[in-house]
Structure 1
Amino acid sequence: MSELTLVKELLKQDSNVAFLAGGIAGAVSRTVVSPFERVKILLQVQNTTQAYNQGIFGAIGQVYREEGWKGLFRGNGLNCIRIFPYSAVQFVVYEACKKHLFHVDSVQRGEQLNNWQRLLGGALCGGASVIATYPLDLVRTRLSIQTANLRKLNKSRVSTAKPPGIWELLVKIYREEGRIQALYRGVWPTSLGVVPYVALNFAVYEQLKELAPGTDLSPLYKLAIGAISGGVAQTVIYPFDLLRRRFQVLAMGGNELGFYYSSVADALTTIGRTEGVAGYYKGLTANLFKVIPSTAVSWLVYEVVSDAMRSW
């Protein structure tokens, strides 16, 4: 067997297909919607002072005027480094659940999971992806807001010193904020959001795919059902996504930003009391502008890349 043939056979293995296709899908989809992701985080961490109050596209324009086009993609390089293994782990674990936990072979025999299996498999792959990549997500969130004008977010004095880079920030958090525990600050509310989100995303997508007439689905149909699955899942779990971001930035200036929480329960109570029900959904519209196209592109790229790898 030639080396090229051996490489082809290795790449066609289900786990390798899922890893590479999932990683590429994640990186491409997040880059497409990076400006919306940056604005969403800025909207989430502002408290009652409305620094970015001109709508989603107005906020994007404001970031562009203040920081240039690089500001719209600030943190995206790290996000791609994070999202490749994050997305890859999800698809690898999901395919492993199909094969080894539920004994279903969707590639060779065309078998399908039932809905509870999809939800459980999605929950398992969501939890695995969080554990594998959470420190990078924490740093990416910090990078997204540290160059914003925090004085606008809440009228307080904030240092204008040059912010640290990726590695420097990782080391700083580790040394000054509690070592490994600090790198996983906010992992609980993150898991509360990510695990059901991924479970719903996979379950809704596969159910809509199963309901489609025929097996040769058009790219447009895959985009549509990917958009629906992402939109439904994100809307359901959004308050926990907001908590995730706020817990991630507490140690870098929660008081300056106008909030401080001692626990998830305290955060939920405080937000409801000080910001009302709308406070739980701050930044949701911007997030949907990000999630819907991102999920649609992610599913489409995953399907295209995995099909190409298997037919190579």
Structure 2
Amino acid sequence: MDFKQLAKKESSIAFVAGGIAGAVSRTVVSPFERVKILLQVQNSTSAYNGGIFNAVGQVYKEEGIAGLFRGNGLNCIRIFPYSAVQFVIYEWCKKHIFHIDGSVGKEQLLNWQRLTAGALCGGMSVLTTYPLDLVRTRLSIQTANLSKLSKSKAKDITKPPGVWTLLMKTYKEEGGIKGLYRGVYPTSLGVVPYVAINFAVYEQLKEFMPTTDPHVANLYKLSMGAISGGVAQTLVYPFDLLRRRFQVLAMGGNELGFKYKSVSDALITIGKTEGLKGYYKGLTANLFKVIPSTAVSWLVYELVRDSMVEW
């Protein structure tokens, strides 16, 4: 097998393994993902203020099991290429920019190289899948009991549009491609450093992992994934909150209690009207989602990748 064939095979393995890892990990934590979005976009007087598990219980009571997983099908469609692109770009950066093999026991990337490669794969994954992320966020909130939104959008909530309808509606009514990428800037501000830190912390922790039997090694990988995801998300969380709010502005920002002209205006307004806690609204719910999601994602990626390499 020549170099081009080998590179193509490695990219295919990274793409498939990364996509499966993303889909499995997001499905596992889908109820917390939906509740996190509801907490992020509501104002202080809306319905979901009783804590994470109360919110999950309320969604279940109002919408059943389907409500807990609303938007997850689309999320899996989005997350497969989103996650796959990240792993493909990261592995590509290792070999073609920094000329590092990355195998255990061999020369590893330096931390600044990990951060750079992680930032590149984060940015590429956002550009590739952002319209689906925007639609998934809107699907997550349009049947929710956000009282002010429901009053003005009652008809839409009774019969919410499907994925394709919502994509076309957004494209036609909100400025074409610009509408489909509404909020991409604050999203990138959050996702790019998040992915960079996630990859850098995980790879650094992996260097400390002792050589042991596979079952114990898998527990180490779960733990390392949990730590890397938790650290990365906590550091960049305010931008993740901005990401969601900008995505739903056109759906009824006034009814939800916020309206922003720019990222800087949003940061200032949140600080004035909601205080420091406003920047971290929904963080606990998000960590309930991110920590197990990232842990499962890294473990599934490594297991699938290793299995495909052995084929």
In the superposition, the TM-score normalised over structure 2's length comes to 0.94
Contact 2:46 2:146 in 1 (8 A): no
Q: Trace 1:81-160 onto structure 2 (pairs within 5 A).
A: 81-107=77-103, 110-151=106-147, 156-160=151-155
Aligned length: 304
Contact 1:46 1:154 in 2 (8 A): no
Contact 1:35 1:60 in 2 (8 A): yes
C-alpha spacing 1:216/1:191, structure 2 compared with 1 (3 Å): farther
Alpha-carbon distance in 1 for matches of 2:288, 2:116: 27
Contact 1:190 1:244 in 2 (8 A): yes
Partner residue in 2 for 1:284: 283
| Structure 2: runs of 5+ lacking an equivalent | none
Contact 2:233 2:290 in 1 (8 A): yes
Contact 2:149 2:252 in 1 (8 A): no
1:44 aligns with 2:30: no
Partner residue in 1 for 2:308: 309
Contact 1:231 1:288 in 2 (8 A): yes
Alpha-carbon distance in 1 for matches of 2:15, 2:235: 27
Q: Deviations over 1:206-260 (max 9, x none)?
A: 0000122237661111000000000000000000000000000000110111100
1:167 aligns with 2:147: no
Alpha-carbon distance in 2 for matches of 1:283, 1:247: 16
Alpha-carbon distance in 1 for matches of 2:7, 2:120: 24
Alpha-carbon distance in 2 for matches of 1:94, 1:193: 18
Partner residue in 2 for 1:178: 175
Which of 14, 18, 35 is equivalent to 1:18? 14
The Cα of 1:51 is off from its aligned counterpart by 1.0
Partner residue in 2 for 1:244: 243
Alpha-carbon distance in 2 for matches of 1:309, 1:106: 17
Partner residue in 2 for 1:4: none
Which sits farther off after the overlay, 270-279 or 156-165?
156-165
C-alpha spacing 1:113/1:132, structure 2 compared with 1 (3 Å): same
The Cα of 1:109 is off from its aligned counterpart by 7.3
SS in 2 for 1:290: helix
Contact 2:202 2:228 in 1 (8 A): yes
Contact 1:10 1:16 in 2 (8 A): no
Partner residue in 2 for 1:189: 186
SS in 1 for 2:107: coil
The Cα of 1:149 is off from its aligned counterpart by 1.8
Alpha-carbon distance in 2 for matches of 1:288, 1:107: 30
SS in 2 for 1:105: coil
Identity across the alignment (%)? 76
In the superposition, the TM-score normalised over structure 1's length comes to 0.94
Alpha-carbon distance in 2 for matches of 1:212, 1:95: 20
1:76 aligns with 2:72: yes
Q: Supply the AA of the counterpart residue of 2:263.
A: V
Q: Trace 1:176-255 onto structure 2 (pairs within 5 A).
A: 176-214=173-211, 218-255=217-254
| Structure 1: runs of 5+ lacking an equivalent | 2-8
SS in 2 for 1:276: helix
Contact 1:12 1:310 in 2 (8 A): no
Q: Deviations over 1:87-115 (max 9, x none)?
A: 00000000000010000112497331010
Contact 1:201 1:229 in 2 (8 A): yes
Partner residue in 1 for 2:269: 270
Partner residue in 2 for 1:300: 299
Contact 1:17 1:309 in 2 (8 A): yes
SS in 1 for 2:279: helix
SS in 2 for 1:281: coil
